[in-house]
Amino acid sequence: MSREPRVDTRTWRPAPDGVVVVDKPAGWTSHDVVGKIRYLARTRKVGHAGTLDPMATGVLVVGVGRATRLLTYVVGTSKEYVATVRLGETTVTDDAEGDRVATGDVTGIDREAVLREVTTLTGEILQVPTAVSAVKVDGVRAYARVRAGEDVVLEPRRVTVSRFDVLDLRAATTRDGVPVVDVDVEVTCSSGTYVRALARDLGAALGCGGHLTRLRRTRVGGFGLPGEGADLGAATSLDELERRTEAEGVLPTIPLAQAAAAVLPVRRLDEEEARGIVHGQAVSPTGQPGPHAALAPDGGLVAVVEDARRHGSTLARPVVVLASPDAHLSDTTS
């Protein structure tokens, strides 16, 4: 697929600050997608929330302008995937993009056996990330160390797999005649969970090895695919985003306030509180733990606030201020 610009961006207006939910195509890296959105948005200030491997497709949340400051909160939300695990074959990357390193006997592996081991991989678990991952080891990405020929062993991390459902199970054969079992699954998990590692660990538990052959992310927080019950703007293909940008003269983005409300609880402000927060002042507490999207009376996003106790009192204090102190709130928070 060509990634070269096809139309003249000089006819487009810079995109307003906000979020774009992309349905990432197979074969593209997350960085490729960011590059395409930079071109469509006419700005370099673009980032993404949570890497998808080139093989994977589905929801990739991209921030434009000030929305890049919200991405850390998007990254921390739960995620949903549909995937296919191939049992009986192990690869160096734990997915279909890596070379095969071993095969295993899948004789006797049935739905009951798979369900039994899936149960052990559900709930709060300790997971060792796949070695070919973006996890940093002494400041260097693990995948870079592996490609350089190093043996990389990562420390286990605590993650939560709240749902690991088996949809279908069928016998199959690889191109070179190796018998395998393909298992279609749905996974809901916390940030930092590697579905590739779930495939690897399921195969290991069954004694035959395993890897991922298909991965599609269907939801990130309140952002999802069309028809998947997304709370806000469903993911759109890059081709459709380019068509709309060319037709409308500007890349469509989800406004900051709507995007923040899709991943954070909301704290409503009055006019005085809104203007105070812009200048770094605290307001009455939310009464709940964790960050909140602080919205002005007109519905615009002013800041992200979080309750904190200082000098004997608990107040909601700004963590990230999105509105400018030298402009009218209505001009800066939409």
Tens digit of each residue's pLDDT (9 = 90 or more) over 90-122: 998 899 988 899 999 999 999 999 999 999 999
pLDDT of residue 63: 97
Coil/strand/helix, residue 201: helix
Express as a percent the part of the chain with pLDDT over 90.
75
pLDDT band at 331 (very low <50, low <70, confident <90, very high): very low
**pLDDT for 51 beyond 80:** yes
pLDDT of residue 50: 84
Enumerate domains of the chain plus CATH numbers: 9-77+221-248 (3.30.2350.10), 79-215 (3.30.2350.10), 264-332 (2.30.130.10)
Least trusted range by pLDDT, from 194-208, 224-238, 300-314, 320-334: 320-334
Coil/strand/helix, residue 148: coil
pLDDT of residue 147: 61
Residue 244: burial class (beta carbons within 10 Å; 0-12, 13-18, 19+): middle
pTM: 0.88
Q: What is the pLDDT of residues 58-77, one digit of tens each?
A: 999 999 999 999 999 999 99
Q: What is the pLDDT of residues 125-149, one digit of tens each?
A: 999 888 766 666 556 565 665 565 5
**pLDDT for 234 beyond 50:** yes
Question: How many residues can be counted in the chain?
Answer: 334
pLDDT of residue 152: 65
Active-site residues, by number, are 53
**pLDDT for 317 beyond 80:** yes
Cα distance between residue 293 and residue 274, in whole Å: 12
Report the Cα–Cα distance between both ends of the chain, in Å, rounded.
35
